[in-house]
Structure 1
Amino acid sequence: MHALAAEAAALLGRAPVRVVPLHGGDLSDVLRLTFSDGSTAIVKSGPAPEIEASMLRAIRNSGASAPKVLACNKKALVMQDLPETGGLSDQAWGDLGSQLRCLHATTGRRYGWEVDYAFGQVSIRNRWHDDWPAFWAENRLLADLAELPRRLHTPLEQIATALPGLLPASPPASLLHGDLWTGNVMADGPRLSALIDPACYFGHGEVDLAMLELFGQPAPAFWRQYGPPRDGWPIRRAVYQLWPAIVHLRLFGLSYLSLAERLIAQIPV
C-alpha cells in the first residue's frame, strides 16, 4: 500500500480497498481512498498537515466552504471527499464572491497567524503586527531577500519603504485563504464545493483578490457578489501580487523573474 494511504488507514482505523492518486500540485501528494462500504476520503501530505487542518477548520467556522477534517497527524491530513464537476461557471463565480465576502467578514485583532507556514521550502512568516504595511514589508517582501536575485534587492527595499503611502495602515484584519487561485477552488455545477489548500492568516482582504487575478480574471458575477475594489486598486494589486510572484520565482526558477519585474514596474516609489 502507498505509504500515505497506510498513514490514513492507521488514522481512520480502516484500510481502503482502492487508492487513486490525484493531482495535488507540485508540493504535496494527494490520494482518493475508497473503502469497502463505498465511502471515500481524501488524504494529503504537505509541509504541516496539522496546521493545514486548523486552517480548514477556520474557513469552515467562518461559514465558507472547506472540506471537513476527518483525521490528521504530522504526516497526513485526511479530509472529506467533496464533489467537483470542472471549471467555474458564471454562477459558481458568483457563489465564490459570496463565500469570500463571508470569509473576509471573519476578523482578528492583529495581522498574522499563530504559527508560520510554508510553500515547499519557501517560508511564510506570520509574525503578528498591528501595522499592515509593516507586516507586508517584513513578513512578505523582505522576508527572504537574500534568496532572490540581487537585481531585485534594491527595488524591493524601495517598495517596502514606500508601503505606508501605498497600503492602508489598518484595514480590517480579515481571515484570508492565503493562496486563492482557481486551482484551489472546487465547484460542483453552480455552487462552490470548497476552498482547499489554504495558507491562512489575518490581513487585508484584497490580498486574496489580487491572487485571484494573478493568473486569470474573475467573472463579473464574482464582483457583483463580493463588491468592487476601492480606488487605487491597480497599485495595491501589484503590491500584493508581487509576493506570490516571488514565491513562484523561488519554487520554480527564473522563468518567473520577468513577472516579478513587470509588477515592480507598476508600483510607484
Structure 2
Amino acid sequence: MTRLARHGAALLGGQLWNWHPLQGGDLAQTLLVYLNDGRRVVVKNGPDPRVEAAMLRALGQTGAPVPDVLAVDEDALVLQYLPADGPLATCWGELGRVLAQVHTGRPPDGATRYGWGTDYALGTVAVPNAWTDTWPRFWAERRIGIHLEHVGIDLARQLERLMHRLPELLPATPPPSLLHGDLWGGNVLVHARRVTGLIDPCCCYGHAEVDLATAGVFDRPPAAFFMAHGPLEAGYEARFAIYRLWIALVHLRLFGATYRPLVAHYLDGAGVG
C-alpha cells in the first residue's frame, strides 16, 4: 500500500508524508494520503482507474456530488478528499433527489441504447457493457448471462429461464438514464446531514429503477427516498428483484456460497425460484 500512496503523491507532483487505509477496500485498495505540502487526497487502484475516472466525471456532469478527479493513470486514481462522517439514515430523501439528477444523464449521442463505451469489472467479475438497442437484451446478456458458466448447472438453468422471460418482465426501451450501477450505502458519502459524494461507480446507461433497486440490497431505504426520486411504476417489485439479483450474483462469485440464499430470494421475487 505504501507503493500506491507514493505513486498517488507522485501523480500530483508531491511527496508522501503519511497515509492510512480507508474503510471498504474489498475490491480495491483505497487510501487517505497526506502530502508534505499539507494536501490530503484519496488514492485508489482497481480494475481500471481510467474508466472509473470517466464514470465519476459523467456523474459529476449531471450536477450530482462526486469527488473531483485530480489525477489518473493505468495504476492509480487520485481523488478529492470529501468528508464522510455521517449516517445515510439522516438523508435518504436527499439521496433520492441526487439520483434524480444522475438519471437525467443520457448517452452521448442521444440515441435510445443501453450500455457504456467500455467494459469494466467488479473485482475479478467482468462487467461487459457493449451497447444494445433494447433493455431486456442488455440485462439478459450483460448482467445475467455472464454468470452462467460460474454458478453451477442448477442455478444456471434458473437464470436461463429468467433470461428468456425478461422481454415480458422489463420495459423494452425505457429512457436510457445514466446509472451509478453499484449503489448502496457504502458508496454514498455523508457529512453534516448532506450527501457529499457518490463513489465507486459501475456506470452504464439503462433503466433508472436499477439504482433504486440496488440501494435496497444491503439497506432499507424509507419511503422518502423513493418519493424524492419520483413515483414508482406498477410492477416494480419484480423488476427490483431482477435488478438486485445481479448484485447478489456478483457477491456470490466474489465472496462465496453465503450469498446463495440471497440469489434464491431474488429469483423467487422474479417469479422463477
What TM-score do you get using the length of structure 1 for normalisation? 0.96
Report the secondary structure of 1:175's partner residue. strand
Paired with 2:196 and 2:94, the residues of 1 have a C-alpha distance of 10
TM-superposed CA distance for 1:68, in Å, is: 0.1
Correspondence list, 1:171-210, <5 A: 171-210=174-213
Report the secondary structure of 1:5's partner residue. helix
Q: Is 2:240 the counterpart of 1:237?
A: yes
Amino acid at match of 2:96: G
TM-superposed CA distance for 1:162, in Å, is: 0.5
Amino acid at match of 2:131: W
Q: Which moved more, 1:105-114 or 1:242-251?
A: 105-114
Report the secondary structure of 2:103's partner residue. helix
Q: Is 2:136 the counterpart of 1:122?
A: no
TM-superposed CA distance for 1:223, in Å, is: 2.1
Residue in structure 1 matching 2:171, options 162, 168, 171: 168
TM-superposed CA distance for 1:228, in Å, is: 2.8
TM-superposed CA distance for 1:265, in Å, is: 1.5
Paired with 2:216 and 2:198, the residues of 1 have a C-alpha distance of 16
The 8 Å contact of residues 89 and 189 in structure 1, kept in 2 or not, is answered as no
Paired with 1:38 and 1:94, the residues of 2 have a C-alpha distance of 35
Report the secondary structure of 2:146's partner residue. coil
The aligned counterpart of 2:101 is 102
TM-superposed CA distance for 1:229, in Å, is: 1.5
Amino acid at match of 1:80: Q
TM-superposed CA distance for 1:97, in Å, is: 0.9
Q: Is 2:253 the counterpart of 1:254?
A: no
Paired with 2:223 and 2:147, the residues of 1 have a C-alpha distance of 36
Q: Is 2:231 the counterpart of 1:228?
A: yes
Report the secondary structure of 2:41's partner residue. strand
Paired with 1:88 and 1:255, the residues of 2 have a C-alpha distance of 26
Paired with 1:264 and 1:121, the residues of 2 have a C-alpha distance of 23
What TM-score do you get using the length of structure 2 for normalisation? 0.95
1:144 to 1:268, Cα distance in 2 relative to 1, 3 A: closer
Amino acid at match of 2:260: L
Paired with 1:144 and 1:258, the residues of 2 have a C-alpha distance of 16
The aligned counterpart of 1:5 is 5
Report the secondary structure of 1:75's partner residue. coil
The aligned counterpart of 2:15 is 15
The aligned counterpart of 1:216 is 219
Paired with 1:264 and 1:155, the residues of 2 have a C-alpha distance of 8
Q: Is 2:160 the counterpart of 1:157?
A: yes
The 8 Å contact of residues 93 and 218 in structure 1, kept in 2 or not, is answered as yes
TM-superposed CA distance for 1:9, in Å, is: 1.9
Report the secondary structure of 1:218's partner residue. coil
The 8 Å contact of residues 67 and 199 in structure 2, kept in 1 or not, is answered as yes
The unaligned stretches of length 5 or more in structure 1 are none
**Identical positions, percent:** 47
The aligned counterpart of 1:33 is 33
Report the secondary structure of 1:105's partner residue. coil
Report the secondary structure of 2:189's partner residue. strand
Q: Which moved more, 1:131-140 or 1:1-10?
A: 1-10
TM-superposed CA distance for 1:258, in Å, is: 1.3
Report the secondary structure of 2:200's partner residue. coil
Amino acid at match of 2:47: P
Q: Which moved more, 1:80-89 or 1:229-238?
A: 80-89
Give the paired residue count: 268
Cα deviations by residue, 1:96-152 (Å, 9 ceiling, x for unpaired): 111100000112221000000001110001010011001110111111311112111
Amino acid at match of 2:104: A
The unaligned stretches of length 5 or more in structure 2 are none
1:11 to 1:37, Cα distance in 2 relative to 1, 3 A: closer
Report the secondary structure of 2:101's partner residue. helix
TM-superposed CA distance for 1:78, in Å, is: 0.2
Paired with 2:257 and 2:271, the residues of 1 have a C-alpha distance of 24
Structure 1 consecutive aligned stretches of length 4 or more whose deviation exceeds 6 Å: none
Amino acid at match of 2:59: I
TM-superposed CA distance for 1:85, in Å, is: 1.8
Q: Which moved more, 1:141-150 or 1:64-73?
A: 141-150
Paired with 1:192 and 1:86, the residues of 2 have a C-alpha distance of 9
Report the secondary structure of 2:182's partner residue. coil
